[in-house]
Every structure is written in structure tokens, then in C-alpha cells.
Structure 1
Amino acid sequence: MPLRVLNLVTNEEAQFFRAQVEELERRGVELTTLSVPGRNRSESIDAEEDGERSILEYARFYPSVLANSLDSYDLIHANYGLTAPMAVAQPRLPVVLSLWGSDLMGKYGPVTKRFARFCDEVIVMSEGMAAEYDGDCLVIPHGVDLSVFRPIERAEAREALGWPRDERIVLFPYPPKRDVKNHPRAKRIVERASDRVDESVTLETATGVPHDRMPYYLNAADAMIMTSRREGSPNTVKEAMACNLPVVSTDVGDVRTRLDPVEPSTVSDDDHDLVAGLTEILERGERSTGREYAADIALERMGERIVAVYEKVLED
């Protein structure tokens, strides 16, 4: 008999959640997804964040969770910390909780931690999140589809996007208005690096880009810059690795661990280091060695490990 899992989620359109569902279904897991009612006003800004819905909307979610929990499911997989209260309130099924980053490290972190203690297993995306949670948990980062995110010739990628061939281009792969991503800092660093490089340097952003188009952006750019104030295990860094795009990043989440063996790359919280690292990357004009270290972040590896968690919970 296949495993039957009831998914709870705040934003079922989050790309990494959809990829998780597709991978688990490919492995024979039968999934039903329930999403918290109401529109999360932050979804247009941050696919990972929630908190704009009212308490009433979360209260309305519980009867649906309870009714479905009485069906013939094997367990509940709660995705994002604010779904944990509804998951553990139903009395019948074991609960696996996946934390996405902002639910643990943002303003709702205390709520997440309180209810996570009642779950049978907790999954986090990075060692940094594990330290923040400070309890029993498993580190399983979101996976990347290595068949989609792969190296493409830069000229081909730039032609597909209509980007000029003779400029140095740095990609900031987020909407500039997302405060947590700190676009002003990225702009400042790129401007300072541009003063040190002979060629013209342009900072490009990616807003509302279909996911299947992102490999073209990552292959068309000369470097990616991430200046986030906090992260869990950012998929954009892993996607850049899979495309051999050099990355310059603040020291957040698991970025340092991921990029430690990758050359060239720079991880630092100091602007001087970030400017120097970006300048060197632009002057060298080389791709990175990121794909060599991408096997552990493949979707297949993530799916294998999540299924193992399900089986352990049911065995226990």
C-alpha cells in the first residue's frame, strides 16, 4: 500500500513546495494538500513568508484539517510553522513538520517553536536553523531539479533574454522591495565593484520570472549577489551552483557551507570583502565549480530523505 500523506501549507504555489510534492508523488506517495484559507498578502513578495492572514482564517482552517485527519491517511506533513498548531490539534495522525526559514527565524518564531515540540519529527533546511530551533530535528534542504538548472552557454542565455553581450551583469534574483533581501546593499556593492572594473557593470533583478526561465537568468549573468539579512537554505544559491554561476553572498543560513568548496565564490558579512570578491569574479570572467558539489541538493536526494522520515515516524 502506498503512503497516504495529508499536506498542510500556507502557500501551495511556492515553487519549492510544488517541486517537493512532484518528487514525492514520483516516489509513489499519495498526497492531498490543504491550504490555509484567505490570501496571504505577502505571497506576491515572499513565497516563504506568512503572517498576513488573520487568526480567524487560521481558525477556519482547523475544521478542514480535523475532518480530513479522520480519513485513511498515514500521517500529516505540516509545511511552514504556522500550520503546526492545526496539525498537532487533531488527535489521530502523527505529524511531520517542515520549517522554511522565516517561520522559525522571523517574528513568529516563538509560536513555531512552541508547537513544533509536539510534532513527531521536525525538518529544517540548514544547520543554522537547527541551532536556532535548539531541539531534535533533521536537516533536509530543499532540492533543486538538476535537469532544469544546468549550465547553458552564456551567449545563448543572453540572446533568450535580450541582454547585451558586451556588459558585465550581476544578478539579484529577488524583487527589490523585499526588505529582508536588502537590495540597497546589493546595489551599493555592485556600484563599488563597478568602479574597479574596466567594463560596464549592470545590476539586474528577477521579479515575477517563471521558474522555468530562471536557468536563463542564472546562465546569462556573470555573478549572483545575495545580501539577505536572514535565510534558511536559499534555493537561489543552490540553483546558481547547479548552473555554475559564481555567487557573492552575506553569511546567512547554510550559504557558507554550500559555497565553501566552490571556486570562485565569496561569503562574508563585510562589505569590503563582498566588493573585493565580486570584483575578482568580474575580472576573471570564469564560471564556478558549483555543479561539482550539487549532488547532495538534488530533488531526488531530498525526496529519498523525506520518505525515510515518513517511514521512521510510522515505524515508531
Structure 2
Amino acid sequence: MKLLLITNMYPAPEQPSSGVFIKEQIEDVQNEIDLEVDVFLIDGINRGKFEYLKSIFTIPYQLSRKKYDAIHVHYGISGLFLLFFRPKIKKFMTLHGCDIQDWGSNFWNVWITKKIIKNVDLVYVQNQKMKSVVEKINPNVEIMPCGTNSSFFAPPPNFNKKAKSDFLILFPGSPKRTVKNYPLFLEVMRTVEELGIQNIQHLCLENMSREQVKDAMLNADCLLMTSISEGSPQVIKEALYCDLPIVSVPVGDVADMLAGIPKCKVANTFDKLELARLLKSTLSEDYAPIRESFMTKNQYNNQYASKRLARRYSEVNDRETTLRVIGNKSLVE
């Protein structure tokens, strides 16, 4: 089978960690089935939004040069070309969160994505909230969180945190990204100091290699998520596999991820005092086996997603099979 993978995030020399989970996912699928993959990267982050407009012409040209059995698009507007050109092959799409969840300043992004998903055969989303939005437009939708490499994000044998006098709290992203809500994070940090935790520092997970992110997670005391919107945040899964406690606002599928996991808490609101109290409580608790507990939730491991994709891709060349998806049930006729 030949697949064209279209994405706006994928590892490159200048950004080796960007979309690495997509690369690992497709490589895992290749371990399951005979699959030839070409990757078409729309580098809108480094080269600007014009790259999406160019793709209206460059992707159909690529599809005309080589016979593919299917395409798989990651992120809504990466499929902009589907508004003008509809290849007669199977079209899969994975939505990641802010491409379909409207939180204000991403209105046009969401509006365009809703137009695009009408032209897709099967849409994968990260959580139930996203599914509720998509199924009103395209009934062929499934929840499938992107998986994380639990072998890489793991404490080494006999690991001990680096000795330090202060608590270290991680901010999961760049302060420049509005959706990550850095102002609320800072308010919580100030509030927790007012509650009596004076020896506290924070570190932003930006401009780091993957190894540096893992090292930070292994040696931090907690990750605090204050995002306005999320799908199924990779950074939470990575932290849990690194045995790192989490405190989060109620966003994406984080509550499902953290359910039953020790030393991890989800606030009921975006209130800084509630979050500060939860953070203080977490910092006062003794060690608990976070990774061990999270490993039982197989749906967040990259092997789970890759096996599901492998089954779907395998159905593409079965000419006698018609795929229909109704709710969470997959029906093969």
C-alpha cells in the first residue's frame, strides 16, 4: 500500500522534535503492515501561512505524479487543498485540538477545518468534545488519541532526581503561545507562594531537544497545565511516563488521562486559588508510582494507535469492503 502523509508538523533538522510522535506513529504502522509512505510537510510554522495556499497546487501535483492508495492529513488546515481537489482515493484526517475547538482567536482556523472535514472519509479526533463537534458535520469520526513513546519517556534504572533546594514546576510549552495561557500559570505560581511555598521555581518547555524535555521532566516536581484549549496533550502523557505529577485545568481529555493516577489532580475551574491549592497539595505528598499506574491505560501508548491505523489502512485495498462509522462502532459491510 502507498500512502501520502500530509502534515504541518514533522521532524526536521532545524526542529527535530516537531511532530515526532507522528513520525513514530507511521513507523510503527509500517512494522504492522507493508506500507510505503511519502511525507508532504507544509511548513507553515517556519515559512508562514502562504505555505498552506501553495499546497492547494503542490499536493494535487504530487498526487498526479505517483499512484497512492490513500492520504492521511494531520491538522485541519493541512487539508486546505481538499476544498479545491478531491482525489478518488481514501482520505483520512487526524485533528489535534485547536484546529476544531474554537477558543476565540482561532475562529478562521476552525471555520476552514469544518469545511474541509466534509470531504474526508474518516476523521480521527482526540477527545469526546472534539467528536461532538465533528459528528455534526461528518458522521465518520472516531476518538483515537495520538500515542506517546513510553520507552523513550521513562526513568532510567535506579534513577534518582538531581538534588536541589527548590521545587521545580514545568510550564508545558512556550509562553508566546496564547492558547497555553502563561499569564494564568504565573498567577498560580504567585498564589502558591502566598500559601506558604516560598522555595519554588519554574521552567518553560520551549526551544528544547527531546532529550532535554525528558531530563526536565525526570527532575521536576510537578507539571502545571493552564491551557485554554487542548486535544489530548502529548506533554501530559510524556510527563506521566516520566513519573511526574500533574496539576491541570479541565481541558481536553486530561481528566480521563489522570483518573486514578496518584499525585495528579484536575481542577474544576480555571481559578488560580483552586489550582494553587492543588499544586501545594501535590508538592506535599510522598512518592507514588505514577508511571506504573499510567502504563495500564494502553490507549495512550503509541502501539495502540498504530495497530488501529494499520487495520484501517489494510481495509483500503479490500475492494469488497465498505467502511461505515456510526458513533463509536465500526461497521464493515
Distance 2:226 2:199 in 1: 21
By how many angstroms is 1:22 displaced? 2.3
Q: Is the 8 A contact 1:97 1:119 kept in 2?
A: yes
Deviates more, 1:104-113 or 1:217-226: 104-113
The 3-state SS of whatever aligns with 1:116 is: helix
By how many angstroms is 1:27 displaced? 2.6
Give the one of 62, 78, 92 matched to 1:83: 78
Deviates more, 1:52-61 or 1:76-85: 52-61
Aligned to 2:214: 215
Q: Is 2:202 the counterpart of 1:203? A: yes
* Amino acid in structure 2 at the alignment position of 1:33: V
- TM-score scaled by structure 1? 0.86
Give the one of 68, 74, 94 matched to 1:73: 68
The 3-state SS of whatever aligns with 1:102 is: coil
* Amino acid in structure 2 at the alignment position of 1:15: V
CA pair 43-187 structure 1, distance change in 2 beyond 3 A: farther
The 3-state SS of whatever aligns with 1:144 is: coil
Deviates more, 1:261-270 or 1:190-199: 190-199
Distance 1:27 1:237 in 2: 27
By how many angstroms is 1:30 displaced? 1.7
Aligned to 2:153: 149
By how many angstroms is 1:198 displaced? 4.8
Q: Is the 8 A contact 1:265 1:288 kept in 2?
A: no
Aligned to 1:161: none
CA pair 198-123 structure 1, distance change in 2 beyond 3 A: closer
Distance 1:288 1:156 in 2: 14
Q: Which runs of structure 1 show a deviation greater than 6 angstroms over 4 or more consecutive aligned residues?
A: none
- For structure 2, which runs of at least 5 residues remain unmatched after alignment? 12-18, 323-333
Q: Is 2:22 the counterpart of 1:17? A: yes
Distance 1:83 1:311 in 2: 24
The 3-state SS of whatever aligns with 1:233 is: coil
CA pair 231-284 structure 1, distance change in 2 beyond 3 A: same
C-alpha RMSD of the superposition = 2.4
CA pair 72-65 structure 1, distance change in 2 beyond 3 A: closer
- TM-score scaled by structure 2? 0.81
- For structure 1, which runs of at least 5 residues remain unmatched after alignment? 45-50, 159-163
* Amino acid in structure 2 at the alignment position of 1:263: P
Post-superposition CA distance 1:99-145 (Å, at most 9, x none): 12122123211221222122111111111211222343111111111
Q: Is the 8 A contact 2:168 2:222 kept in 1?
A: yes
Distance 2:195 2:314 in 1: 55
Distance 1:8 1:266 in 2: 36
Distance 2:175 2:95 in 1: 25
Number of positions where the alignment pairs a residue of Structure 1 with one of Structure 2? 298
